[in-house]
Amino acid sequence: MPPIRDKFTIHSKAVVCQDVELKGDITIGAGTIVHPKATIFAIAGPIVIGSGCIIEEATIIVNRRKEVMRIGDENLFEVGCRVECPSIGDHNTISARSRVHHTVRISNHCVIGVGCLVVPIEDEVLDDYTIVYGPGAERRKWSGRGKVQEADLRRKHADYLREMIPKFNRLRRGDGI
Amino acid sequence: MAPSVLYHCPCLSTSDIPPPPHLPSSSHSFHPLNTLFFCEECDAVRCNRCVSVEVSSYYCPNCLFEVPSASVRAEKNRCARNCFMCPNCRNTLAAVPADPESGDGRIPAGVAEGPYIMYCNYCRWDSAEIGITFEKPTGLAAQLQKYEDSAPDSLEFDRLKEHFDAFLRTSALAASTSGTHHHSTHHSHSLHTNSITAAASAALARDIPGVGKYNPLARSTTGRGYGKDRSVNKDEMTEYRSRSEIAQTAGAGGGEPDVELMNSLEEVGEVASLEQRWENSWVTPLQTKQLKPIRIPLHSKRSKRCPACTHILIKPEQKSQSVRYKIKLMAANYLPGIVIVLPHMRQLRDELSKRNLGKSVAAQVDEPPPGMVAGNTYEFQLNLTNPLYDPIEVRLSVQRVHVSTAPGGTAEKARRPPFAISLPTAKFPISPFAEAWEYEDDEDMFGVEDDELGIGMGSSLSASVRGGREKDGRARPKTVGVLERKANKTVVGGEVVIGKEAQGNVKFNMLVSYTYRSDDAEGGDLGVHPSKPEIRRFEFYTVVDLGPIISREEARMDL
């Protein structure tokens, strides 16, 4: 295996802390916030993260596949989650200490509950509005009511972090700057 | 399982000596120290099994509102404010304004307007799924009250209550007017009816000495004839007719509609799980979409009393926000705490952790808990902590188990793990408990004390222990006896010799007796009159479980 070549493309409006472990070819979109102590590993293929995402502490995002791992816009990765999905849509929440395997693709507006393991053996796509919750990782469909509320809250959350994080952390800039 | 020490509460048996640990009754008489209470008046240990419990206040666990006990029954033991449980996952529900019909997805900065829905943050259930919306986000329970009250089951129950109410009132009244022996049996009934009316009618109908008894309900002037009294006779009750036929009641189960439902079933999720259904007390709906949000059940704070002297052992503060106690007589503050350490287990664990250093966390969990191999000798350490502000002298003794006296002698003997415990039999001291800030000044004092102890120890160590050490003849540290003294802790070493054919757990009863200075002597100088009669003695039994014995064959297989 050839050594991993680091190439970080970080949008000028993104907030990425210095104390973040990045490896491989990584692109981070506008307004995305990466807390300190997060880990993003592009072992094989590159990772592309959209805009407005929040990636909290101790999150691990890994791409083991050759193809590009695409993460959409306004997703929330909570503390200590581990994500290896080849693709993630928009407005998803991956809750604290949950784990999503590389066999799962996530569409839009999905929620992986706290501590849930989503580790199917066969490839699977989570439809829009799928909620995984509970100790047995049960699934249900969300009606979508309250999503405007949630999107609004997510935006405020990101705005707040964008203001506060640079006050207490050194930031990382992309290769271009 | 980790080695454990449980403490004896003698409430279940008449004798003070606990049952031997291999009997099933043993596990009922022994409790962890942190669950036990200590009654100062009786000078005895009390457990949760023997204390009498009374409710001191009710509160909602979600909004922490204290519910006066008078309204608890009227509110059916559930929170009557804004707290609801998700019918799907039993999380608490939040009241949120529904999304605006149109717009760019941004909520206008002004005041959010209704309608409001209940929304579960965990599983994303919302009340609009079952067609419940609210005008305003407060007093949700009151807004839902009409649904609850108009439900056929609660109407039926109210009717049933009404039906029996008349009967109960008349019988209570009859009981209060008739003889005293009847009174006691009916007293419990009268408590359930309106107690004010019952008290009033009882007062009116009280016997007046010298005046002939008049029973208005029985319409008989002879008070003695209440046996034939119509009002008392249960058989005379009018027949109750239910509001609706049982088969028609929704969710009553069975019948054609359920069969139809099952035939058209597409997903398992459409049928409510047992856990979801059990939350509902009356009707347990079959379909998930019929589940309704439920008001959160109230919790209570309870105080406990000693069964013998009725003194309060533990009493929480009235406020639901407070986690403090007004009175708290825990056994842990009176009896020395004992923690068991197995040095060989610690070594094993250290080795394991070294080996697992490079591995993932999951691998560590799979390791089987190492036990003790039959035929070997193991050492163990008892870590005793003194919670008292006075020094104590402790003596440990292992209870002998007379298997021959136990019923079913031979079979029992064959199964019982033959092992021998050696523990120091002499008294040893434990220093008093002192607040942390006191240690700083006393540091040099401890050195002196340890020296003294060393001299004292030589003479007080029992012959058997010394013999054991001499026989070893090696220069390894001693294993039986007082190993370490530090602050209010003393570590005592012991040894267990396990027989070759042993099975089961190494489990034995141990009597701990200790002497302490009673409270009256607190004012006097400590240590000046050590042999004064104000020194008191207390003893209690514990059961020590050192863990399972691994038979030799198994041990070999593992290797």
Residue-wise pLDDT for B325-359, tens only, equals: 999 999 999 999 999 988 877 777 777 777 766 55
Q: What is the predicted pLDDT for the residue at B162?
A: 85
Q: Determine the distance in angstroms separating the CA of A129 from the nearest CA of chain B, rounded to an integer.
A: 10
Complex prediction ipTM: 0.81
Q: Which two tokens stand for residue B484?
A: 């370490």
State whether the Cα torsion B547-B552-B558-B559 is positive or negative: positive
Q: Cα Rg for chain B, rounded, in angstroms?
A: 34
Q: pLDDT, tens digit, for every residue of B234-244?
A: 556 677 777 76
The residue among B555, B515, B206, B132 whose CA lies nearest residue B372 is B555
Which residues fall within 8 angstroms of residue B30, CB to CB, at 6 or more apart? Answer: B6, B7, B8, B9, B18, B542, B543
User: What's the DSSP call for residue A18?
Assistant: S
CATH class entry, domain B4-36+334-558:
mainly beta
β-pairing verdict for A111-112 and A130-133: parallel
Q: State which H helix or E strand residue B51 sits in.
A: none
Beta strands in B269-308 (DSSP E): 294-295, 299-305
Taking each helix axis from N to C end, the angle separating B152-177 and B195-204, rounded to the nearest 10 degrees, works out to 20
| B→A interface, C-beta within 8 Å | 88-89, 96-100, 103, 105-107, 117, 119, 122-126, 128-129, 269
Q: Distance (Å, rounded) from C-alpha B353 to C-alpha B361?
A: 10
Q: State which H helix or E strand residue B132 sits in.
A: none
Mean pLDDT of B70-96: 88
Which residues fall within 8 angstroms of residue A168, CB to CB, at 6 or more apart? Answer: none
Query: Which residue has better confidence, B121 or B274?
Result: B121
**Contact: B123, A131; criterion CB under 8 Å:** yes
Q: Determine the distance in angstroms separating the CA of B139 from the nearest CA of chain A, rounded to an integer.
A: 21
The letter for the amino acid at A2 is: P
Closest partner residue to B98 (CB to CB) among A114, A142, A145 is A145
User: What's the DSSP call for residue B246?
Assistant: G
Note whether A58 contacts B: Cβ–Cβ < 8 A: no
Q: pLDDT, tens digit, for every residue of B136-176?
A: 888 888 888 877 777 777 788 888 888 888 878 887 777 76
Give yes or no for residue B314 having a pLDDT over 70: yes
Parse chain B into domains and list their residue ranges.
4-36+334-558, 84-94+137-295
Most distant pair of Cα atoms in chain B: their distance: 99
The total number of residues shown for chain B amounts to 559
Q: State which H helix or E strand residue B292 sits in.
A: none
Q: Helices (DSSP H) in B357-435: which residue ranges?
A: 361-366, 409-415
- Backbone φ and ψ for B286, nearest 5 degrees, come out as -80, -35
User: What's the DSSP call for residue B360?
Assistant: -
Q: Distance (Å, rounded) from C-alpha B447 to C-alpha B426?
A: 23
Q: Determine the distance in angstroms separating the CA of B249 from the nearest CA of chain A, rounded to an integer.
A: 29
- Band the pLDDT of A176: cuts 50, 70, 90: low
Q: pLDDT, tens digit, for every residue of A90-100?
A: 999 999 999 99
Q: How many CA atoms lie within 13 A of B195 on its CB side?
A: 5
Q: What is the predicted pLDDT for the residue at B327?
A: 92
A145 interaction partners in chain B (CB closer than 8 Å): 98-99, 117, 119, 126, 128
Give CA torsion, residues B19, B22, B26, B31, to 10 deg: 120
Mutate to test the interface with B, among A90, A130, A141, A143 (most CBs of B within 10 A): A143
Which residues fall within 8 angstroms of residue B131, CB to CB, at 6 or more apart? Answer: none
Q: What is the predicted pLDDT for the residue at B412?
A: 46
B94 interaction partners in chain A (CB closer than 8 Å): none
| pTM, entire model | 0.69
Q: Distance (Å, rounded) from C-alpha A26 to C-alpha A40?
A: 8
Q: State which H helix or E strand residue A165 sits in.
A: helix A147-168
Mean pLDDT of B375-402: 85
Q: Are B82 and B294 in contact (CB under 8 A)?
A: no
**Contact: A133, B122; criterion CB under 8 Å:** yes
A147 interaction partners in chain B (CB closer than 8 Å): 99
> CA nearest A141 in B: which residue?
B124
- Band the pLDDT of B526: cuts 50, 70, 90: very low
Which residues fall within 8 angstroms of residue B207, CB to CB, at 6 or more apart? Answer: B177, B213
Give yes or no for residue B455 having a pLDDT over 70: no
Q: Distance (Å, rounded) from C-alpha B517 to C-alpha A6?
A: 72
Q: Distance (Å, rounded) from C-alpha A125 to C-alpha B267?
A: 19
Give yes or no for residue A143 having a pLDDT over 70: yes
Q: What is the predicted pLDDT for the residue at A144?
A: 85
β-pairing verdict for B44-46 and B37-39: antiparallel
Q: pLDDT, tens digit, for every residue of B21-32?
A: 878 888 888 999
Q: What structural domains does chain A harbor?
A: 7-168 (2.160.10.10)
A111 interaction partners in chain B (CB closer than 8 Å): 124
Q: pLDDT, tens digit, for every residue of B171-217?
A: 777 776 655 444 444 444 434 445 555 666 666 665 555 555 554 44
Asked, as a colleague might, if the bond just before B115 is cis with ω within 30 of 0, I would say: yes
User: What's the DSSP call for residue B243?
Assistant: S
Helices (H) and strands (E) in chain A, counts: 1, 21
Q: Distance (Å, rounded) from C-alpha B401 to C-alpha B416?
A: 10
Minimum mean pLDDT among A91-100, B127-136, B228-237, B445-454: which range?
B445-454
Q: What average pLDDT is seen over chain B?
A: 73
Q: What is the predicted pLDDT for the residue at B391?
A: 87
> CA nearest A115 in B: which residue?
B122
Distance set, CA B471 to CA B423, B455, B476 (Å): 16, 22, 12
Which of 135-164 (A) contact B at CB < 8 A?
A: 140, 142-143, 145-149, 151-152
Mean pLDDT of B362-379: 65
- Environment class of B521 (CB within 10 Å of its CB; exposed 0-12, middle 13-18, buried 19+): middle
Q: What is the predicted pLDDT for the residue at B281?
A: 64
Q: Distance (Å, rounded) from C-alpha B310 to C-alpha B317?
A: 19
A146 interaction partners in chain B (CB closer than 8 Å): 96, 98-99, 117, 119, 124, 126
Q: Distance (Å, rounded) from C-alpha A111 to C-alpha A76?
A: 10
**Contact: B123, A152; criterion CB under 8 Å:** no
Q: How many CA atoms lie within 13 A of B146 on its CB side?
A: 4
Q: Distance (Å, rounded) from C-alpha B59 to C-alpha B318?
A: 10
